[in-house]
Amino acid sequence: MSGLRQHSGPIRTFVKPEEVDGPDVVITDLKYIGSYNWTNNETPTMIVSGLPPIWRERPLPFSVPPDPSSMFIEPDAHWLLMTPLYTLLRAVGVVAEMNADPLDWRSVDLVTDRNCLRNLLRWCGGSGRKPRDFRIDLQLACQHTILFSRFVTNYRHGAGAGNLSGMNLVVRFEVDACLASPAQSSTGVDDLASTMSDLSISSDVHSDAIRGTGVNRGSSPNEPRIIRAGTQVPDDAIVELATRSETSPKPFDWANSYPQLFFSQTPHHFLAMHSAGHISQFIKHHIDDPDLREVKQRAQRGFKKLKRLLEDIQDIVIEKGKSSRLSLVYRQGTLALYERASQGSCLPAHMLKQFD
């Protein structure tokens, strides 16, 4: 509850939406707008467009080592604690320059991480699991655009724009893997891997190992450096990876997993069946497979409630105005909206001008 004006209490305590009638909630006009990797450099450095791991049809069976006991899973918050949305807008801006296709940020209703949507859906009762405590910092960027910032991976992050039944969303999410395509030549992948490897052992961003990839230093000492390298992966090549023990007595939890695919419109889901890390098979699904039809239909109940909740949140934040700093907090079973004491912004001032 750090930084919240708790003495005056919440300005709104939410009640879970009742059943919501109406047409199914769908995502249309999906568009890739940006992606990036963090490097292991001591100086914060992003690779844009970057590249996720490429799926290889490795012969089965095989074994994988256990996860390390210590994992670095929030580089955005680590490097840019006060403005974790910076990397999203910076990557989108670089890709827009590459493609000569700028995004009109003024047309966007909500800028968010996928995790924020999943947490709110869980609160609505739409994923089969109760949410853990969470906090989302909120800010009005322009007339109707709301910024959702998680309070606080060398994963590759992607960003997509789409229309959620009338709401224009920009959603950032982590990409587990992608299917290989002709555009991803072995040379291009090897060059990017070499670039990241060299950066992890050298602080000289202008080393011979990365000449020609396109390097930009941040516009201020507090901003990360940008390396223009990698591949813009097609939307239909993104893969979500999951694991499951062969001895688990319960069926796979699609009620919890399907929304993750839905919010990012990730088309492929590969489930590794294992016994103590020894993988025997992969069960592969496509988001449009007929056997997921019932899963998708059951999910609509929660999606409709979430859509109503997002509209309510948008209305409140717009009413409070651009000078307000708000936080949505779920704690001990209650979802409430608080004012923040600080005027700290989710984005630097020069980036907020993109919404004017």
Query: 72 with 287: CB under 8 angstroms?
Result: no
Judged by average pLDDT, the poorest of 151-160, 244-253, 277-286 is 151-160
At 131 the pLDDT is: 87
Sheet with 62-63: list strands edge to edge.
62-63, 278-286, 268-275, 238-245, 177-178
Range 50-71 average pLDDT: 84
pLDDT for 266 beyond 60: yes
For residue 49, whether the previous peptide bond is cis, meaning omega lies within 30 degrees of 0, is yes
Range 70-74 average pLDDT: 51
pLDDT for 301 beyond 70: yes
At 189 the pLDDT is: 52
Query: 179 with 188: CB under 8 angstroms?
Result: no
pLDDT per residue as tens digits for the range 152-196 = 644 567 889 999 999 999 999 999 999 987 555 444 455 555 555
Range 339-349 average pLDDT: 89
pLDDT for 111 beyond 70: yes
User: What pLDDT band is residue 200 in, cutting at 50, 70 and 90?
Assistant: very low
At 204 the pLDDT is: 37
Range 119-126 average pLDDT: 94
Q: Collapse the DSSP code of 33 into the 3-class scheme (helix H, G, I; strand E, B; otherwise coil) and give the result.
A: strand
At 343 the pLDDT is: 85
User: What pLDDT band is residue 55 in, cutting at 50, 70 and 90?
Assistant: very high
At 187 the pLDDT is: 42
Range 316-343 average pLDDT: 94
Judged by average pLDDT, the poorest of 67-71, 84-88, 123-127 is 67-71
Range 249-276 average pLDDT: 96
**Percent share of the chain, pLDDT over 70:** 82
Helix (H) or strand (E) segment spanning residue 272? strand 268-275
User: What pLDDT band is residue 317 in, cutting at 50, 70 and 90?
Assistant: very high
**CA atoms of 205 and 227, how far apart (whole Å):** 9
At 259 the pLDDT is: 97
